[in-house]
A and B are shown apart, each in its own frame.
Chain A
């Protein structure tokens, strides 16, 4: 496809032309050998032999990055292939940009045409950066009105996970509960809609997607006793089109005639309310602060829901539907089509909001329309995305709270001694409440058929206690000190085969890998670490090809794009924060003279390796 176009541009530079030749031969090598580690899933690449396939095409031209994960499938895969295992060692910084904001830079920039769009953590400033000019000057800068009160209502730092582009507009959420649309050309606000209520602890941190002219957004606040929702706004006007709660009666959660879920125990009237004692569902959490996916062929939006509130399970006996669940909703109306509760009656803070990656996978000789989900609870699920049937579920990190998932019911078998309980200190539960994986999104490469997954290896003691709901304050009722998991490492970047449920390789890291992954057709996978290393690794075998120490710990997600000069660039935010960087790594801040925290024990000496920052780094060959 654009490889030809890119080569034309590359003629301008002999060096680049040479690189492209190298890249072509590398791609051929990959196709021929499929890599020693790729097991049963043959490499296919674009136009290759039949095998694993990303369900939805990349949004826009391959050289752009128009939506949070690059496509509706949440694959974080790019067809750009100039950077290869052979030349990745030559990567260097092309330019950098300070966002002017500290704290956790989760999320990723967008690239549309020759413009890059950056959204910062609170106060959620956005920048349009002109890539076509030397020195990358701004086209515009937008500073939204954004209530300061939001800072103290956000549980886990004041992060923002990015924007979406559609129809000449940039859409993103403000921490104080607003969704806004900005004219991509001028930086002027087109509309602004209040979606969340700060006084009830509702903030918004997630990245929206745009589906059929509607902006899909969801609330944060699972630790604040919110009643979680997902909603659609008219992209042209900002008018709310529909809103579905994730807990409560069928009418509110949009369970109706379209609801045909796979497991029998998930069918029944008003389960979103009756699986809770009394009216505890009204403050039961189930927020939507993670990533969204969409399958246009099935017209289904997929999203996870957060933990039930409070953490103290004694106050909410029952399945607590539809918290800690993956929900499939109609792309036009938000009606629920299927639901799969990943962790029924969660008592470990295992939100199910992690990304749902939509791929077609060859499983046992049959192509399956799959959804692959690496859950906080430590299981990697391969699910039929049309029906919600769990095809397989295997642990992808060390875990001890469950012995496995019963595929006839989809429910995990819980180890009795790891059940948390009010006024008990239950020790050594793995994974910790940060999960085997948290918000850091995985990537998928159709070349190797593998998923590239940033993971945590932490365990916890869990002390639940009674808590009273007070609107606008945390509704938690528990304390869960964390420690490193078995093996002496706290995170691992792994390659995973979702057709068999097996880890293929892993790179152990001293700290949880809280940044996301990017897979590329060049056969190189990128990720950043909490202690500030940005790495390029060989997709086939996990060999680290190159690394660079950026200005702050990485909790963001790499993207790649083609610059106006035809070269492939890779961009990443540096800016430690989020739950891991703010709450767990207590001593990494330096700009708060009134808030000097003691070193945390969970991440020993992280402050020796990094401190708060807010920078965009862009690399190229």
Chain B
């Protein structure tokens, strides 16, 4: 990195800080309007998210599915494929993992097979949207979103039908046996080894995009499909691969929730991880390594929100959603300013 690009990086970081503090200032005004102190809200939020080892571990547990689905969204958006079906792919991944994890496989195989089944099912679910796009011209924005609703209904049926517990009492599956579960990293907390796997995958996805032929093809197809085709890059194959990889990451997120956190399948276990993932990926500017802090930020808000509501009268946990929106808008403003700058820079020539 030469001096010029270092200065450029510094300048854009400064701009980002200005945009974010502008957003936070607006948020502080909102909090003042309801008669609370912005600082005490911030303190409560921090306390809830990182105040104790248990809280911090819980924040990380919330971060894992956001990180994986965020990577999935970033990967497909980088190829200009707007797969917004991470939620559905996560759900089918959870179902497949439950099926494999409760199957009569030899014990050492249970966990790996559960994770693989989850990734595979997510890939297939996303692959449906991919095939529809390539062979019927259906926009993946629509098909992947609609497949989310199919997955929700399928989950409702699974926990009452094929995957329901042996006693048939509640709409849930049998619990996974110990060998089918992810190990805990820190005893006394809920932090599981899936967090390490997710972190590792963020680096793998980064390296894939940066260093491999396949990742290069993916980025070129996203940056200029006509140029990619003219250069002999197999555009359609690249697109299908991207759909499959993206779906596999989301499916794995579902499998990790089942094998690492829930230990059994039930309805409504995802509070919309796959949708939040879109914001996670966009705030990370679709860069795999930036998805890590971005997912952590959203994970912290998820665990910190209820603490705000409990400790400060008059402020509901909705403030967390406002905070999310503020962060997103600040970054959009930042992106817009950057774009304008690069346009005028290009105009000088």
B is bound to A: no
Interface residues of A (CB under 8 A from B): none
